[in-house]
Chains A and B, each alone.
Chain A
């Protein structure tokens, strides 16, 4: 076991949680990510591998699916696989062992910072943040969208809960945008 202590994208040792009015924003550092992209001509094999890992069909465009390990659509024949960090820190190696040479697998865990936004007024916050039609997104929908000039993934996990994945290095700027929107709505 190594002796390096991790910090969150916001620089803390613990995840930051902010509640303003009826909306809560939580930093979610305990998540592991790996991108899976089908190699040319290996699309069906990759879908089969993804299905095996998430125990559900590889999600269609703008969808996510799965359980403990889930996949969300990230591009043509490309998915981002997400799993609990504690049990899946080696997510890339594990996914690669299933996909073999059918897909290109890249560790993305620390490329992103995840914020979960939840509460009764979450839709009002989301529509201040990004041009994704968040009201029309059902649970299971995801999309790429720009938030505060940052390319992000937006997932609707529950009727009153969204996840935003933004670039890790800009987590502070992304949080600033989210907090500002929460104040506007509060």
Chain B
């Protein structure tokens, strides 16, 4: 069998023969074919099995509205389920498998479902799996889930890349059929920035599928000339293979460009698809129309297709589903298919027209006033049963039947912002109406102008109106302008298993049952029967369902209304939504200035927000992280350690009101802070809860540098900008982030001064008298490099933070290590940093957890009463000042070998262990090398008065239950002598 159903002509390139496989069998097609057209040309009509009843199915359409012919395309990690054979471009080596069948497409054991169709009607699952309720989650749902779905996933990571991008234009034209092309020509010639997008790989729309002339030549000639003209205009961008998937707010449209889907695999470095965000000042929707089927008994056999689809296959792809074809129509368009097929040499069994006055033909028989009422054929159509006008029956032998029930304008995109279409009686169809997305107009068949002339004319008019062009319309090419008359004919009387939604196996009977059972809203109908769901979103089925509902309810179709049209217009891969934002690139990574040095040292890194921070620095012989961390803590407390603290937020605050501004931001006072001094500050939220803490260094009278916690750097900056711009716009204060501009290192330990004296230029006095605790200064280091020095301590040791411009951070760290060799300097990471701050009793993110107040943190007295600051008033409210309020305390196990874990709750030494008797909780815990046991920080009710009390630390989740003692939070050097040394 070699392309036995291939016709002459078409737009395929016969010089390029392509080999492909379907279910393991090799076929040949040509460049320009789709998988469906190539299979039809090879005499293959059966392409899939239906969702519920596993009935044999072939393509219904020739486009993206296809409900049936879905396959798993490609193999291995690139296998993609539910790919429409009708839009999949053929390429050399294409491999496709049918889906939803076992063991084979021709013999599918699950087709037994079809025998039980009486039981599997609408609402089957709801009715059957209600009892017992406990069975749902464990038994019913897993079984139903396994049976549901069509294609299967490869379960391997997608090896291809996806990208995202942004385009702007004066005019976006959606659809490159006659109206879209004419609109693009009009706008492009006027010099507007135009984007013309079409989901097809060949622009031209229906003109690619028709044989009539434009300007006395074949339509194809006009299409190619138009595309060539547009391609030559620098202000026009043509985007074939691009589906505009949704109309979003502010003139933004989503568009999926299939860059490499037509190739076996993307070229190296190329994405498979790009999801574009198109910013359009104006938009013309020229999305065309979709032919609608007529429902009759067994209307789903392979070979029964939309008449326009058969015409497309014949004219564009030179393929016919069979050598003997019948047509079933209620309008003149069906006759076009018959005429074209007849001209191409395909035998027309008959044209069955529901109209008694249907036009006759010299080439083939037309059965006026007749209806197709049934079909036969196990795996494909063989006979169609026809009821003639006089009531007698006739059987037509045919391998394909083209069905035409008229055309529905593709109004979807007009409704993406909640607009509703309006009913056009003359077309018996919904047309765009109501409130369209701002800036959108509709042209061509999508607006209900179904003739080619109408499409060309409305396309030009829409472009002219959208751009406000003056003057006459451009000269339109001459084209057919046949009057369009569509009278409703939705289904054949008396049918029951007549398929409305072939993708979801919803029949006329199902819709009637749904109505009978009280589901009378169109939205309920959809949910109960699944009509219009899944990949095709009911593009060929919704109207039929609505029509039957309307009839049953005694209403008109517009009274019944439509369901909501939502984006995306066609299925869009999640990979395209993600673009390049995936895996390690899911978010940007921030590297500290010492990162490359730390990497050389073999540091273990941890993600802190977007930052990568060194967690600890293992050395030879260390096999456990605790060994490294304990060593770093001990060495720092014994001599000197260095930690990269660049990640702390740094906000430069300047202006004559800078100090007053900080007085508002912080709950404690800053107005009187002397130049050259640093102060710890606590920020409260409006509601009095602690927001963040840090320091503010006054470098000059009108210049502060504020530090924030790493986690809250952006949030605090945002908060300060809000306060500056909105609450105190009259203050003279300017803010800018300098977090990344400076590499900042904590140098801590009794030898920190000695080490820094080797780095800092000698004219700067680092003695305790010259540079006491909480001092700050602009200095020079290493022979003249500008730097900043702060004498602040997070570890509790004598400590400094030194900052240089970030580009010198790497060199400074190396120098600190070299110069510190004589002091056995160690670098320490975030773990040792955390251990030392817990030992010192400093609050951090765990304690500033969004529920704690200054009082809870033991800083109640810091909230100044002498001034007004954000949160100070509400920190006085009753609920935050109860007598047994939580206070920050230290927690020490009675047995040094016991664990202390964050998240554990504190209970009285005796009494029940339950939420009612909860006394508090542990927020931070670590092993303290200084104390030789685990320690913790936490909050205990009235904790300030309970130091020395024995309690139990419990965690029902981890079965923890240990005896602990409440101690001061300051485990190490509670008097603060070391940091002031």
Contact = CB atoms under 8 A, between A and B. Distances in A.
Given A111-B740, A133-B168, A183-B270, A104 B781 contact: no
A39 B782 contact: no
Contact of B736 (A7, A37, A110, A177): A37
A124 to B, nearest CB: 9
Contact of A184 (B269, B808, B810): B269
Interface string A136-165: 100000000000111000000000000000
B807 A173 contact: no
A104 B657 CA distance: 12
B784 interface: yes
Contacts of B269: 20, 183-184, 186
User: Lowest 7 A-B CB distances belong to which pairs?
Assistant: A183-B269, A104-B654, A110-B806, A173-B588, A40-B732, A111-B741, A6-B807
Contacts of B512: none
A109 B654 CA distance: 18
B385 to A, nearest CB: 55
Nearest to B646: A169
Chain A: interface secondary structure? mixed
Given A4-B804, A128-B164, A168-B806, A39 B589 contact: no
Nearest to A179: B269
A4 B785 contact: yes
A167 B781 CA distance: 25
B783 A40 contact: no
Contact of A6 (B259, B741, B808): B808
B807 to A, nearest CB: 4
Contacts of A183: 268-270
A108 B592 CA distance: 16
Nearest to A170: B588
B238 interface: no
A128 B807 contact: no
Contacts of B736: 35, 37, 104, 106, 108
Nearest to A113: B740
Interface stretch (B367-375, B398-406, B579-587): B579-587
A128 B277 contact: no
Contact of A135 (B164, B168, B743): B168
Contact of B595 (A2, A11, A104, A131): A11
Contact of B585 (A37, A40, A133, A176): A176
Interface string A22-34: 0000000100000
B75 interface: no
Given A4-B782, A128-B163, A111 B738 contact: yes
30 contacts: A1-B783, A2-B782, A2-B785, A2-B808, A5-B808, A5-B811, A6-B807, A8-B807, A11-B810, A37-B736, A104-B652, A109-B741, A110-B741, A111-B737, A111-B740, A127-B165, A128-B166, A132-B166, A133-B168, A135-B168, A150-B588, A168-B740, A169-B611, A170-B589, A171-B591, A172-B591, A180-B161, A184-B259, A184-B269, A186-B269
Contacts of B611: 169
A2 B807 CA distance: 13
Given A2-B783, A110-B742, A167-B740, A180 B167 contact: no
B652 A130 contact: no
B730 interface: yes
B742 A131 contact: no
Looking at B164, B611, B646, B731, the one whose CB has the most chain A CB atoms below 10 A away is B164
Contacts of A173: 585, 588-589
B732 A106 contact: no
B812 interface: yes
Nearest to B193: A135
Given A6-B811, A111-B740, A183-B269, A133 B279 contact: yes
B163 A180 contact: yes
A83 interface: no
Given A2-B782, A169-B740, A39 B591 contact: no
Nearest to A85: B807
Contacts of A39: 655-656, 732, 734
Contacts of A90: 786
Contact of A107 (B581, B590, B805): B805
Contact of A177 (B580, B656, B815): B580
Nearest to B742: A110
B738 A108 contact: yes
Nearest to A136: B168
